[in-house]
Amino acid sequence: MIGVLFIKISKIILSSTTALALALAVGNTPQANAAKTDHINVNESDLTENDEISAMIDWSGNVYLTRNVYSNVIGSNNIFTDSPTITNRAGNPGTVVFRIVDGKGNIIAKSGYVDPGTSVKLGPIPAFSGTYTIQASAEVTGTYNIAVD
For the chain, what percentages of helix, strand and coil (3-state, to nearest 5) are there?
15, 50, 40
Q: What's the pLDDT score for residue 96?
A: 97
Q: Which DSSP state fits 107? A: E
* Domain limits, the chain: 5-53, 55-148
Element spanning 117, H or E: none
Fold that domain 55-148 belongs to in CATH = Jelly Rolls (2.60.120)
Q: For residue range 80-131, what is the model confidence (pLDDT) as tens digits?
A: 889 999 999 999 999 999 999 999 999 999 999 999 999 999 989 988 889 9
Distance CA 53, CA 95 (A): 34
Give the chain's end-to-end CA distance (angstroms, integer).
15
pTM for the model stands at: 0.65
Q: What's the pLDDT score for residue 105?
A: 93
